[in-house]
Amino acid sequence: MNKQVRTYLWLILGSLLLLGTGWRWNVPFAMWLAPVFLIRFFRSQERWCGTLAAIPLTSLAMFANITGGWDFTVVEELGVGLARAVPFLVALYADRFFAHRGRPLLASLAYPAAYVVIDYAIGLTPLGTVFSVAATQFDQTVFIQLAAVTGIWGLGFMIGWTAAVINYVWEQEFDLRQAGAAPLICGGVLSATLILGGLRIVLTAPGEETVKIASITVEHTRDYWGEIIDQGTPTGTAGQYQAELDALIERLFGESQRTAEYGAQIVFWSEGNAILYPEEVEAFLARSQQFAQENEIYFMPTYVGLRYGEMTADNMAVMIAPNGEIAYKYAKTKSWYPTNSDGILPVIETPYGILSTAICFDMDFPAFINRAAKQNVDIMLVPAFDWEPIKPYHTKVGLLRGIENGFSVVRQVNEGASIAIDYKGNVLAYQDFFETSDPVMMVDVPIRGTNTLYGLLGDWFVYLNMAILISLTGLGILRSRSGDSPS
């Protein structure tokens, strides 16, 4: 087989493996293999123009992975596919540039450092980290313990560094004696990561004391966002939908009563489960306060507060203490709709630890949720609303925040996968909305979290990768000026 043809087979194989980057399909090990073959393709091209085929192929793979899984037009999905390919492409070009400039160990850091920096930058956009390669690894429980130290950025780094080092060893025809220190150091760091991750799981425990939490979903009979909010919430729709909205609320309170009688000490609903017109909010909150007081529970109903004549609404979660007092009201912060959120994660100290709340997409933003660690949160309650093509992946994206920051997470999802974990990522409960006739999840959750390095220092590892890239660039400039040839 022609050598140049073989290099394009590496590109095709690497691009096909990118189909497993989460969202609609998630194949964790594919994310370790894809960069291996893509790096091989990039390094094998004699000229830069030979690498250009990677741009459409990787973007199409990312497009195929998300198409039909989001409420976007095809053109928008193509744009998101390209955006998803950007961290890989930037890292691949960085690796190609530095691969044979300088010592192999330092050169091997170019791909992972570039990937982490661009992945972090995209995480600051409205897309968040939902498409980060790190999010594909949630089921690798031992490996993801690294997130407690570096955040998810360390996961992406290790995947990329391993791929770069494998390519260096490949170039030495897999002769480890010829390859030198790079594979030994990378292999040692990866081994230490897995060993220490395993020890963290075995040797640390959240404690025996738990709280029984019930999370509830009552199915919506229609898309109220699309049929009411997106139509501008005309006044005339109030009477049209009133009977079914009242029935929805009655079912929510009925299910809440059932869980309270079963011994639930904390009860909350999935995202925007009740739909309220403006004149209904005050009476709804009064009823919720009375319900919490009568059952002596922490009760967190959620609702969408409609606004007449507006294509927006208040996406709210309200925590009510057992004495009937409202402890906090929280409006969703990270939303595709306009929001009046103050951007502050609420907390309440209870006999069951410190509780906080984030709503659905909020959990896809590490820096935002990291604020909860600064307040020593023990349990994060997450009302959410997804859709079938992205279950259970989207739930797992947000669950990584629990490992990063040292708190348990209970995520209750309408039209998705509801999952509860402890701060080590151990799954305590799992429920698929589409496979159960009773979407009520009850779970015993540890009442104490833990401190983590990421919780304390935040995105320090990203800044380290920025420093690595700056250093590599500086060394490259110095070598160029000194006239040294690449080694």
Indicate whether 132 belongs to any domain. yes
Query: Mean pLDDT, to the nearest integer, of 158-181?
Result: 92
Q: Does residue 93 sit in the same domain as residue 224?
A: no
Q: Mapping DSSP to helix (H, G, I), strand (E, B) and coil, where does residue 416 land? A: coil
Do 221 and 368 fall into the same domain? Answer: yes
Based on the domain organization, do 242 and 179 belong to the same domain? no
Whether residue 247 lies inside any domain: the answer is yes
Distance CA 474, CA 213 (A): 54
Token output for 486: 């690449």
Mean pLDDT, range 385-390, rounded to an integer: 91
> Strand ranges (DSSP E) for 288-352?
298-300, 302-306, 313-320, 326-331, 347-350
Q: DSSP class of residue 428?
A: E
H or E element that contains 374:
helix 366-374
- Residue 192 covered by a domain: yes
Domain co-membership, 262 together with 130: no
Nearest Cα to Cα of residue 260 among 448, 446, 445, 442:
442
Domain range for 220 is 210-449
| Whether the Cβ atoms of residue 267 and residue 256 lie closer than 8 Å to each other | yes
Report the distance separating Cα 160 and Cα 165, nearest Å: 9
Confidence of residue 207 (pLDDT cuts 50, 70, 90): confident
Check whether residue 465 and residue 441 sit in a common domain.
no
What is the enclosing helix (H) or strand (E) of 275?
strand 274-276
The domain that contains 342 carries what CATH number?
3.60.110.10
Residue 455 in any domain: the answer is: no
Average pLDDT over residues 200-219: 91
User: Are 230 and 85 contained in the same domain?
Assistant: no
Both ends of the chain: CA-CA distance in Å? Answer: 29
Same domain flag for 310 and 398 = yes
Identify whether residues 87 and 26 lie together within a single domain. Answer: yes
Rounded Cα gap, residues 9 and 130, in angstroms: 29
**In a 10 Å sphere around its CB, with 0-12 CB exposed, 13-18 middle and 19+ buried, how is residue 151 labelled?**
buried
**DSSP summary character for residue 320:** E
pLDDT value at residue 485: 44
Percent of the chain with pLDDT over 70: 97
The values of phi and psi at residue 198, to 5°, are -65, -40
The larger pLDDT score, comparing residue 194 to residue 100, is at 194
With the CA atoms of 264, 269, 274 and 280 taken in that order, what torsion angle do they form, in degrees rounded to the nearest 10?
60
pLDDT of res. 487 = 38
Q: DSSP letter for 39, please.
A: H
Checking if the pLDDT of 3 tops 70, the result is: yes
* 460/176 Cα distance (integer angstroms): 33
The total domain count for the chain is 2
Q: Contacts from 367-370 at CB under 8 Å and sequence distance 24+?
A: 367/123, 367/124, 367/458, 367/459, 368/333, 368/334, 368/343, 369/345, 369/401, 369/404, 369/405, 370/404, 370/405, 370/454, 370/455, 370/458, 370/459
Q: Token digits for 188?
A: 């040692």
Residue 100: inside a domain, yes or no?
A: yes
State residue 190's pLDDT score. Answer: 97
> Does some domain include residue 454?
no
Assess whether pLDDT exceeds 70 at residue 183: yes
Does 487 fall in a domain? no
Say yes or no: 169 and 271 in one domain: no
Shared domain for 177 and 240, answered yes or no, is no
Question: Across residues 250-274, what is the average pLDDT?
Answer: 97
Question: Are both 224 and 346 inside the same structural domain?
Answer: yes
Question: What is the rounded distance in angstroms from the CA atom of residue 123 to the CA atom of residue 461?
Answer: 14
Predicted structure pTM score:
0.92
- Point out the least confidently predicted range of 32-36, 334-338, 345-349, 454-458: 334-338
| Beta-carbon count within 10 A of 396 CB | 23
Helix (H) or strand (E) holding 43: helix 30-44
d(C-alpha 444, C-alpha 408), whole Å: 11
CB distance 166 to 36 below 8 Å: yes
In a shared domain, residues 183 and 240: no
Can you say whether the dihedral through the CA atoms of 188, 107, 102, 121 is positive or negative? negative
* Residue 120: alpha-carbon gap to chain centroid: 12
User: At residue 205, does pLDDT exceed 80?
Assistant: no
Tokens of 263: 């011994």
Answer yes or no: is pLDDT of 70 > 90: no
Percent of the chain clearing pLDDT 90 (strictly above): 76
Q: Read off the pLDDT of residues 364-376 as tens digits, 9 standing for 90 and up.
A: 999 999 999 999 9
Selected residue with higher pLDDT from 121 and 48 = 121
pLDDT tens column, 92-113: 999 999 988 778 899 999 999 9
pLDDT classification of 483: cutoffs 50, 70, 90? low
Contacts 24+ apart (CB under 8 A), 37-40: 37/10, 37/11, 37/13, 38/10, 38/11, 38/14, 38/88, 38/92, 39/92, 39/95, 39/111, 39/163, 39/164, 39/167, 40/7, 40/10, 40/14, 40/167, 40/170
The yes-or-no verdict on residue 181 having pLDDT over 50 is yes
pLDDT of residue 486: 42
Identity of the residue numbered 101 = R
Residue 51 lies in a domain: yes
Does residue 347 surpass a pLDDT of 90?
yes
Mean predicted lDDT score pLDDT of the chain: 92
Query: Rounded mean pLDDT of 260-278?
Result: 97
